Homo-oligomer: A and B are copies of this chain.
């Protein structure tokens, strides 16, 4: 039976980078005879413009029907001033994550040796960096109820959100992280703020309970403020980190930026069965949208992750990753990773180079 891939270009540079990734996907689709059916739908600001909603019913239905989803990016200043909080590009993304139960977010931060100079950190601090951040993606303060802005006595406005996790949600993401650590260097650091927040006291308790099932994995705990410091000071001390939705948002972006080449980093968001949505770690970069200078490699590498995790096509994934590495070896660089002596490439030139390498 043929498998379905849904492509959601989204906003900003989303359409440009996804276009290149789609070329790559089509190429391996025929090379490996994968029989993938590829569909495309609107999400985010583009969907608001066309339908008034960030996540149209048609898009959600297609997402449910798909075996895997490739997303570009959502959001931009154009939609920032929409007063109705429910009609924002981000709600499209959050809506898919939640509706499809994509709770397991894998965000690798890997430094490509060819791009070592791009980091703002000293080479010895980041050379060989390879860490994986596992972020819970469908719970925590992103989705907690109650939430809103209300008027208190005296007409005073008050905003509130709820940071909540139950033990099942924690255990579920904990397993993803322990399994990932088991397949890597067997060290897992759970990040919380258990000295202040009760919800993360429970988080820590459940991680400790779970560790009994993974005696081969070394579990440690770190407060989130210290984790942010340690990522800056000595990121190579980490193998796998696991944390909640909000802390994961912050730490995974910081970790990605350590590499200096966030334009290279893919991510996966998985449900319990391995169905997933794949997207670059970077955002929609509205400031450079439409100029054809965005780096499509993170999205192309997201296709590789998709083939490996959701489409049971690991050889195709390997081949794409090798092609990307080869293109870097050919000294081709988009503007974000450009350096002296390298050859400038546009978004589509980069995509075409990967195709040639395939």
Residues of A within 8 A of B (CB): 75, 85, 88, 90, 94, 120-122, 125, 141-142, 144, 147-149, 152, 156-168, 193, 195-203, 206, 224-226, 228-229, 231-234, 246-247, 249-254, 256-258, 260, 262, 283
Contact B226 A253 (CB under 8 A): yes
Q: A121-B120, A156-B168, A195-B75 are in contact. Are A229 and B254 (CB under 8 A)?
A: yes
CB–CB B233/A250 < 8 A: no
A287 to chain B, nearest CB (A): 12
A157-B166 Cα distance, complex, nearest whole Å: 6
- Chain B residues within 8 Å of A225, by CB: 249-250, 252-253
List B contacts of A195 (CB < 8 A).
75, 88, 90
Contact partner, A198, options B147, B156, B164, B165, Cβ 8 Å:
B147
Say whether A90 contacts B196, CB under 8 Å.
yes
CA gap between A247 and B142 in the complex, in Å: 15
Are B200 and A159 neighbours in the complex by a CB distance under 8 Å? yes
Knowing A196-B90, A196-B142, A246-B193 are in contact, say whether A229-B262 is a contact too (CB < 8 A).
Answer: yes
Most chain B CB inside 10 Å of its own CB: which residue of A75, A141, A147, A152: A141
Docked CA distance A218–B131 (Å): 37
Quick check: A253 and B234 within 8 Å, CB to CB? no
A94-B196, A229-B256 provided; 13 other pairs, C-beta below 8 A?
A85-B198, A156-B167, A157-B167, A157-B202, A159-B164, A159-B199, A159-B201, A161-B162, A161-B163, A161-B199, A229-B262, A231-B254, A250-B250
CB-defined contacts of A196 to chain B, threshold 8 Å: 90, 94, 142
Q: What residues on B are CB-neighbors of A159 within 8 Å?
A: 164-166, 197-203
Q: Which residue of B lies closest to A262 (CB)?
A: B229
Nearest B-chain residue to A144, judged by Cβ: B160
With A166-B157, A197-B141, A232-B232 as known contacts, state yes or no: A254 contacts B253, CB within 8 Å: no
Residues of B within 8 Å of A228, CB to CB, are: 228, 250-251, 253-254, 257
Residues of chain B lying within 8 A (CB to CB) of residue A260: 233
Which among B85, B144, B156, B257 is the interface contact of A232 at CB below 8 angstroms? B257
Per assembly, the copies of the chain total 2
Q: How far is the CA of A258 from the CA of B226 in the complex (A)?
A: 13
Whether B257 lies near A201 (C-beta < 8 A) is: no
- Neighbouring B residues of A166 by C-beta, 8 Å: 152, 156-159
Q: Please, which residues of chain B bring their CB within 8 A of the CB of A226? A: 253, 283
Q: Which residue of B lies closest to A221 (CB)?
A: B80
A195-B75, A251-B228 known; A162-B160 Cβ under 8 A: yes
List B contacts of A141 (CB < 8 A).
163, 197
The 6 tightest CB contacts between A and B, nearest first, are: A159-B202, A159-B199, A229-B257, A158-B166, A228-B254, A225-B253
> Given the complex, which residues of B lie within 8 Å of A164, measured CB to CB?
158-161
CA distance A72 to B233 in the complex (A): 23
A160 adjacent to B199 (CB under 8 Å): yes
* Chain B residues within an 8 Å CB radius of A247: 250
- Which residue, of A149, A196, A246, has the highest number of chain B Cβ atoms within 10 A? A196
B198 contacts A161, C-beta separation under 8 Å: yes
A149 touching B224, Cβ below 8 Å: no
Pairs across A and B, CB under 8 Å, 26 listed: A85-B198, A88-B195, A147-B199, A149-B201, A152-B166, A158-B166, A159-B199, A159-B200, A159-B201, A160-B199, A161-B162, A161-B164, A161-B198, A162-B162, A193-B246, A224-B249, A226-B253, A228-B250, A228-B257, A229-B253, A229-B254, A229-B257, A231-B254, A233-B257, A247-B250, A250-B250
